[in-house]
Each structure stands twice: as C-alpha cells, then as structure tokens.
Structure 1
Amino acid sequence: MAVVRRDLLVAVRRKAEVLTAMFFFVVVTSLFPLGIGPEPTLLRTIGPGVLWVGALLATLLGLQRMFAADHADGTLEQMALSPSSLTLMVLGKTVAHWLVAGLPLVVLAPVLGLQFDLDGASLLVLVAGLLIGTPVLSLVGSVGAALTLGVRGGGALLSLLVLPLYIPTLIFGAGAVQAQASGTGAGGHLSLLGALLALSLFFAPWATTAALRIALE
C-alpha cells in the first residue's frame, strides 16, 4: 500500500504523463468515426476493436517509465535490499500503474463508445471487459518493462516484447462486445479474460521480480 500511495503521489505531480495517455486514447478512438463516416452498422462493427486497440496503445505509453525513474535514482536497489518482499512491492507498482493508466480509460470508454453507436448492453460489456482486461495489460507490461530496464532503445524493444502477449486480451475483450451485440452472450469471453487475469496476477509479479534482479546485477 505504501508503494501504491507513493507512485500515485508521483503521478499526481507529473500530471502531463497521465493526461497524455488519456488524450491519446480519446484522439485515436475519435479519429476512426471521423475518417470512416456516419455509417451506424460499420461503426458498431469496428467500435469494440478500435476502443480496445486504443486502450492497449495508451497503456503501453507509460510502461517504460514504470521502473525507469526508480532505477535511475537508486530507489529500486533499496527496494531490492529491503526486508519486505520485492514481489509485493512490484505488485504495488503494477497496481499504481493500472490506477493511473488503466482505470481512467475504463471510465472514458462508455462515453467514447457512443461515437460508435453501441447500445447500453454493449457499453456495459465493454466496461466490464476493460475492467478485467486492463489489469492484465499492466501485469504483462510490467514483465516487459523489467526485461528492457536500462537497455538502449528499450521503448521499441518493449513494444516488440509486449504487443504479441497482448493479443489474447485484445481478442477476448473486443470479442465480448461483439458477442453481446450479436446476441450470443459475452459470458464466455469475460470468463476467459478473468482466467487471463488470474494467471497474470499469479505469474507476472514473480517474473517481473526475477527480471528486475537480473537488471540490477
């Protein structure tokens, strides 16, 4: 909790970084309706995928900074030497990243979904999917951020490592909204998203901790 509180306070002092991700999400998702035109059927078809891709890319923007500042000023080494569990502290930093980079996107998604003529039930499924899926993006992204810590050109390498791992979350998240719109029900897709979240929550902090120890050595 102390790590979460600290990272949130740092994020409040660096509002530009938080607002950049939100602005990016809004701009990317708003350009598609303008470019494609006001065809309701087409907008409803592409809307879930566009919103999920926008959320994925917006989350990716802040991953490189998850551990970079702490590594630069020596805080990460102190965390590793602390008697407290480094894995729990890594989980705290991941939770803080989601609260800053993921949760605002969940809040904005229903408003942006109106641009794609999504009905109320589809918007609820969209929010539920993002609420389950965006933590997966942060957890998986933390592993990539740790693996590329201190590497020259780490931003491009981070994208190459993380984006393929994001594909299942993208497929099931967008598929849930499309399944709801088609009348087949979104329960299966949301269950698979929940399974991805459970696996990520269990394995990602351990993998991130191991990668951070290698980076520190």
Structure 2
Amino acid sequence: MSAAPADSSPSLLQAGRALLLRDLRLVWRRRGDALQPALFALLVVVMFALALGGGRQVLRDFVAPYAIWVAVLLAGLLSLDSLFRGDAEDGSLEQWVLAPVPLAWLVAVRTFGHWLTTAVPLLLVVPALGEFLYLPHAQLPLLMLTLLLGTPVLSLLGAVVAALTVGLKRSGILVALLALPLYVPVLVFGAGSVAAAAQGLDASGSLLLMAAMLVASAALAPLAAAAAIRIAQG
C-alpha cells in the first residue's frame, strides 16, 4: 500500500517568508523610491524651521517633537496607496484570497514589510531631523520610543484604509482623507508624551496607551483589511 501524499501546503512561516523576501527584493530594485519618505520628512522639517524663522528657543521648546511626528506621519502616507494596488492590478491579490494560508496573515506580513521599508528609514533620519529643530538630546530616546510604538500602528491602520480603497482606480487623496483621522490619536499621544516629559510630567500613561493601540491594531487591523480585500475581490 502506498503512503498517502504529504500535505504540500506551505506553512505560515514559509508563506510569510516568501512574501517578505519578494517585497524586499522589489524594494531593493527600486531603492531610490525607498528614500523618498525620508527625503519628504526632511523637507517638511525644513519648512517648519523656515516658517518659524529658525528661532532656536521656539523650535526647541514648542515645535520639535510635533514637527517630527507630523513629518513622519505625512511621509508614511506617500506609499500607502500602493500597499495592495500593485497586487490588485497584476492579479496577485486574487491568488492571496485563494491561497491555503489565511489572508489576514499575508496582509500582516505585507504590512510588516511596508513598515520595514518606509518607517525604519524614517527612524534612522530622526536624529538628523532633531538637529534641524534643535531638539534637546535628552528628549531623543523618548521620541524614538514613541515612534517605535506609533509607526507600526500607522502602518496597520493604513493597511485597512488601503484595503478599503484598493478597488478604486484613483484613490490617492481618498486614502489620505480616510487615514488622517485615524492617525490623530497616535499623533496626539506620541508627540504629547515627549512634550509632557520635557515639562517634567509623567509620560508613562501615554506610552501605555500607545502600546495598547499597537496590540489592538496588530490583532484587529489584518482581519479588517483581509475582509475589505475579500469584498473588493468578490
């Protein structure tokens, strides 16, 4: 009697690894595009500094953490519309729906890849952005911590918006209009915790709320985005 054929379905780790490596290879081929969010954030910070006249005390005491957070948030919107659009146009998204692994898992892996290729370069240039705005060096570690907690939330929420609009031909401005209201709590708690710590207040409450938002969005956003993709492909 011949043995039953082994299940050839890929495991979650195998499927996630294959998708992530594919995304990283595509980004490497267009590595010039990967620098655009960082350059955009730099331009936003420079415009803030010029608009406020370059006053060192004003920038250091009132503007720096808010301007950096706004720059990072807006820079992340640049590539949000293309998160699933390329796969929808070449038919890959239909294969995602039919794949033997959960669609929410593929969405989570794609979102992680998006965060890895857009937010991480932004985080690397944050110290330089802080220098432009005279951010006190003592505030930089807390600012980096808030960005490490907040940028994954932005990517996860953005994935839901990108999935909702993937069926539309031109949705660039619509993506921004839908995503920005969802980003407001992250912006408020992220920049506000740095400003509160600069005034000698306890920022642990805001950090805990950001951690809770990260856990909740990591659990729910891939499921919501997967449901939106199924509707768009239905």
Which segments of 5 or more consecutive residues in structure 1 lack a partner in the other structure?
A: none
RMSD across aligned positions (CA): 1.1
Which residue of the partner structure matches residue 41 of structure 1?
57
1:74 maps to 2:91: yes
1:210 maps to 2:212: no
Which residue of the partner structure matches residue 59 of structure 1?
76
Counterpart of 2:27 (choices 11, 27, 50) is 11
Counterpart of 1:131 (choices 145, 148, 159) is 148
Paired-residue identity, %: 44
Query: How many Å separate the matches in 1 of 2:181 and 2:157?
Result: 11
Largest Rg, 1 or 2: 2
CA offsets, 1:64-101, max 9 Å, x none? 11101111111111111110111111100000000011
Query: How many Å separate the matches in 1 of 2:203 and 2:29?
Result: 39
Which residue of the partner structure matches residue 96 of structure 1?
113
Query: How many Å separate the matches in 1 of 2:134 and 2:197?
Result: 14
AA paired with 1:40? R
Which residue of the partner structure matches residue 4 of structure 2?
none
CA offsets, 1:6-62, max 9 Å, x none? 111111112232121111011111221123123222102111111111111100110
Query: How many Å separate the matches in 1 of 2:154 and 2:184?
Result: 10
Matches within 5 A, 1:195-206: 195-206=212-223
Cα offset for 1:202? Answer: 0.8
Cα offset for 1:155? Answer: 0.9
Cα offset for 1:103? Answer: 1.1
Q: Is the 8 A contact 1:102 1:134 kept in 2?
A: yes
Please, what TM-score do these two structures have when normalized by structure 1?
0.96
Higher helix share: 1
Query: How many Å separate the matches in 1 of 2:33 and 2:205?
Result: 35
Which residue of the partner structure matches residue 25 of structure 1?
41
Which segments of 5 or more consecutive residues in structure 2 lack a partner in the other structure?
A: 1-16
Cα offset for 1:116? Answer: 1.9
Matches within 5 A, 1:42-191: 42-44=58-60, 45-191=62-208
Cα offset for 1:150? Answer: 2.4
Cα offset for 1:141? Answer: 0.1
Runs of 4+ in 1 over 3 A off after TM superposition: none
SS of equivalent residue, structure 2 residue 135: coil
